[in-house]
Amino acid sequence: MGYALRFLGMGWYVALCIVIGIIGGLKLDDVVGTQPLFTLLGVLLGTVAAFYGIYKMALPILKELDTKGNSMTDGGKT
What is the distance between the alpha carbons of residues 58 and 56, in angstroms, rounded to a whole number? 6
Q: Whole-angstrom Cα distance, residue 31 to residue 39?
A: 12
- Could you state, in order of their start, the residue ranges of all structural domains in the chain? 2-67
- The rounded radius of gyration (Å) of the Cα atoms in the chain is 18
Q: Which pLDDT score, from 0 to 100, does residue 6 have?
A: 86
pLDDT at 53 over 70: yes
DSSP 35: S
Residue 7 has pLDDT above 60, yes or no: yes
Quote the CA–CA distance of 16 and 25 in Å, as a whole number: 14
